Structures are given as structure tokens and as C-alpha cells.
Structure 1
């Protein structure tokens, strides 16, 4: 199944928290649900849970990056 890369705008504090949780093997549920919602808004149906893959290191705009596995032909 294809993957869709989701970029979520966030602040540096939240980005650090999500990254720390990921390193501890835990999940930041709010951002994971936001990634799922973003995939749905793009007209894609998630086939599983979004997977955190990292953060951008921009100086101004920081984003959380999630990969979401989606169904090939399914649209909402």
C-alpha cells in the first residue's frame, strides 16, 4: 500500500516533546490523530496508524512528519 507523507505545523516545544516520546517508544496521540485527520482531508483513507518519522529543523516553521499507509483506490 502507498504511503502519504503528512506535514503538521507545530511549535518547537511540542516538536521536542513528540520526538522525546518517540525515542522512549511512546506515542503523542494528539499529533497522530491530527496526521490521520489530515490524510482524510486529502481524500485518502488510512489503512493503519500514522507512523512518526521525524521533525523538520527549520529555523522558523517546525513541522512533525508522519507517514500514513493509505488504501490505493479508496477515497472518502
Structure 2
């Protein structure tokens, strides 16, 4: 299944918290839900839960999620 990379806008404090939760094996639900909603907004159907992959160093800070999507949906 194809992956779709989603960048969620954030602030540095939230990004740090999301990274700490990820390292502890936990999930930051609000940002994960935002990533899932963005997949739907782009016209794709998520095939699995978004997976946190990192944080950008730029300004504004963005949380990066990879989301598996069904290949039979049209972008």
C-alpha cells in the first residue's frame, strides 16, 4: 500500500512533547487525528493509523506522519 507523508503544523513545545511521547512508546492523539483528517481532506482513504516519523527543524515546526492509504482511492 502506498504511503502518504503528512506534515502537521506545530509549535516547538508541542513538537518536543510529541517526540517524548513517541520515544516512550505512546501516542499524541490530537496530532495523529489531525494527520488522519488531512489524508481524508486530500481525498484518500487511510488504511492504517498514522505513524509518527519525526519533526522538522524549520520554522514553523512540523510533525511528520506516514499514513498508509488504499491505492484504489483517487487523490
TM-score category of the 2 structures, normalised to the smaller one: over 0.9
1:4-27 per-residue CA deviation (whole Å, 9 max, x = no partner) reads 000001100000000000000000
Question: Which residue is equivalent to 1:61?
Answer: 60
Question: Which residue is equivalent to 2:25?
Answer: 25
Unmatched 5+ stretches in structure 2: none
Question: Which residue is equivalent to 1:36?
Answer: 36
Taking structure 2 as the reference length, the TM-score comes to 0.96
In 1: Cα distance, 2:42 partner to 2:30 partner: 19
Alignment size in residue pairs: 75
The two structures, once aligned, show a CA RMSD in angstroms of 1.2
- Do residues 72 (structure 1) and 71 (structure 2) align? yes
Taking structure 1 as the reference length, the TM-score comes to 0.94
- Displaced runs of 4 or more, over 4 A: none
